[in-house]
Structure 1
Amino acid sequence: MDRFDSMRLFVRLVERRSFTAAAADLGLPRSTASEVIRGLEARLGVRLLERTTRHVTPTLDGEDYYRRCVAILSEVEEAESAMRDAEPRGLLRVDAHPLLTRTFILPKLPEFLARHPLLELQIGQGDRLVDLVREGVDCVIRAGQPDDSGMIQRRLGTVAEITVASPAYLAQHGTPTAPDALDGHQMVGFISSRTGDVLPLEFSVGGTLREIMLPSRIRVNNSDTMSDLARLGFGMVQAPRYRFEQDLASGALVEVLPNFPPSPTPLSALYPQNRQLTLRLRIFLDWIGRIFAEAKL
């Protein structure tokens, strides 16, 4: 294994905190990874990693060497890409919400991969927060206002939000005509992955945003489950309009208080700021930006 490959392995080890995970990412036996790092430490004359039975962490020298490796490897990849007529190649790891992926990304994916035959994609999906560096993810696509100063944000657009409830729920509780008429109503509580608290409902009233916390017999941390519970009549929910297009068309759900919509939610792609933007990530971000620019959000 040459020096650049050793650097790549070391960078992946620092990010994954595991010899097993880093070796698997690079298609190496764990024993080979251990041997390479021992040789690297011997050649440099410093201890780069602290090892425990569960994970590894970089020493102070290791953190400094990691930052230098990231910069060097980014420059190498950029130089090699320039010599190959800027054809992206290799594995790109991204993370996005499942419904957003199915609705907007997957329909366009065959064309994108056909245009870039040397590029591979690994798509993670979920509502949870993702540690990009620790988990080896190149970028995430997220709705909401990012608060991670360690990330570079690329705005993709804004998503229209609506309030909905099932016909059975409205038949039992009545259809409110204004936010002030929500006494006696309920919502399905959605637990924020950032704070662990239930999010209030939002309504635009006279140019200002008003938050209202309704009682919730059921609280969940998954948006698909939240939508299922709304269909079952457990209360009102708020989510992007595209999530409920089929439900609204079929009558399974009804839009509530359309004249008092929640504030639109920003949609962004995030990637670590301590890395140079690779060619494959730059091409992916340009492509995903065009998708959402053309989409009806």
Structure 2
Amino acid sequence: MTMSQDANRSTGATLPVAGESGAASSAMDRFGSLNIFVRAAETRSFTEAGRQLGISSSAVGKAISRLEGRLGARLFHRSTRSITLTPEGATFLTRCQRIVCEIEAAETELALAHAEPRGRLRVSMPMVSTLMMPVIAAFMKQYPDILLDLDFSDRMVDVIEEGFDVVTRTGDASDSQLVTRVMGSFRQVIVGSPAYFAQRGVPNEPEDLRDHVCLQHRFPSSGKLRRWPLSRDGETLDIELPTIAIATAVEPLTSLAEQGLGLTCAPDFTVRAQLAQGSLVAVLQPYLDSPSTFRALWPSGRQIAPKARVFVDFLSQHLFPAAEPLRP
């Protein structure tokens, strides 16, 4: 063993493998030749391909000739006026275009991953999102270069046709044209104010709701009332609720509940602050259905932009932290 070999072994250094740099160079040359071929085939001109690539037309011709020699097939019919693809060239072009597109997509993905989030962000959110305004305000302060364009609606929007960057919705997602990410889970809670319960008493069984007054949410798209998800021993309970007010948004209902005017049913993340402060109290928790999911969706086949990614991450972290016990 020589001294240099011993030194390399002691430091953990790896000796270069003979021909390794040559193999890497050869691979790079092949990728370069493929790109030249694609440009020439798409422009039908060695001169135009060279102009786009910043090399001479003769360099393009030599690269194509080397590629044909390596493949053992002619890729172009050449004349003094034009070039056309041979059948072998047309087949090869289809494969090469896929390779070039994959490389460009990988480069774009890396560039987006390191880009600063900025620009207009068009988002569709359910009507309950007005109760998320403190979180949205905190997001705007942290990312002042993002212009939020918010659409509050419970209707089924066409994400692609209407040009939304990201859509947030509750429930299941079935559109194969969309990528979905579960941001968190939530439960529906029935809430009222301490003053209301002091006056009307606390319901201990779902049937007790018949002796209370309720504030109900109506879906603006269908006109139907949101069902309060009550169940006992796995069986859904359909109880006719005495109703004092109906609204197409959750926020006014929770505000009325805080003022002692009745009970309402809302997603727990929309009343977390009121529950923590004690202005609202949750009841009948053992009789409410299992958790639902809150999702973010965006068009499939499209790398999520940095501005959309940080928005989804921010909402996930601030709306759905580790589950906290509800007040009894």
The TM-score bracket by the shorter chain reads 0.5 to 0.7
Matched with 2:197 is 170
Matched with 1:93 is 122
CA change 1:127–1:238 in 2 (3 A) is: farther
Q: In 2, distance between residues paired with 1:135 and 1:286?
A: 23
Q: How many residues align?
A: 218
Alignment of 1:1-297 (within 5 A): 79-80=107-108, 82=110, 86-88=114-116, 90-96=119-125, 97-103=129-135, 105-108=136-139, 110-111=141-142, 113=143, 120-129=146-155, 130-146=157-173, 150-273=177-300, 275-280=301-306, 281-282=308-309, 284-285=311-312, 288-289=315-316, 294=321, 296=323
CA change 1:216–1:279 in 2 (3 A) is: same
Q: In 1, distance between residues paired with 2:104 and 2:175?
A: 28
SS at match of 1:137: coil
> In structure 2, what residue type is equivalent to 1:163?
I
SS at match of 1:183: helix
CA change 1:99–1:85 in 2 (3 A) is: closer
Q: How far has the Cα of 1:270 moved from its partner?
A: 1.5
> In structure 1, what residue type is equivalent to 2:255?
D
Q: How far has the Cα of 1:223 moved from its partner?
A: 0.9
RMSD after superposition: 3.6
Q: How far has the Cα of 1:207 moved from its partner?
A: 4.1
> In structure 1, what residue type is equivalent to 2:281?
V
SS at match of 2:279: coil
Q: How far has the Cα of 1:122 moved from its partner?
A: 1.9
SS at match of 2:243: coil
Q: In 1, distance between residues paired with 2:322 and 2:202?
A: 31
Q: How far has the Cα of 1:182 moved from its partner?
A: 2.4
Q: Which has the higher contact order (CA 8 A, sep 6+)?
A: 1
CA change 1:168–1:156 in 2 (3 A) is: same
Contact 1:81 1:88 in 2 (8 A): no
Q: In 2, distance between residues paired with 1:226 and 1:85?
A: 41
Give the structure-2-normalised TM-score. 0.54
Contact 1:203 1:211 in 2 (8 A): yes
Query: For 1:106-147, what per-residue CA distance to the aligned partner results, in whole angstroms no more than 9, with x for missing partners?
Result: 435544x38xxxx63424052433443343211112233446
> In structure 2, what residue type is equivalent to 1:95?
S
Contact 1:94 1:122 in 2 (8 A): yes
CA change 1:84–1:212 in 2 (3 A) is: closer
In structure 2, the gaps of 5 or more residues are 1-100
Contact 1:160 1:240 in 2 (8 A): yes
Contact 1:188 1:218 in 2 (8 A): yes
Q: In 2, distance between residues paired with 1:230 and 1:288?
A: 26
SS at match of 2:185: strand
CA change 1:131–1:177 in 2 (3 A) is: same
Give the structure-1-normalised TM-score. 0.59
CA change 1:75–1:246 in 2 (3 A) is: same
Q: In 2, distance between residues paired with 1:84 and 1:252?
A: 44
Q: How far has the Cα of 1:164 moved from its partner?
A: 0.7
Contact 1:204 1:263 in 2 (8 A): no
Query: For 1:10-30, what per-residue CA distance to the aligned partner results, in whole angstroms no more than 9, with x for missing partners?
Result: xxxxxxxxxxxxxxxxxxxxx
Query: For 1:165-185, what per-residue CA distance to the aligned partner results, in whole angstroms no more than 9, with x for missing partners?
Result: 233433443321111322232
Q: How far has the Cα of 1:188 moved from its partner?
A: 0.9
- What percentage of aligned pairs have identical amino acids? 27
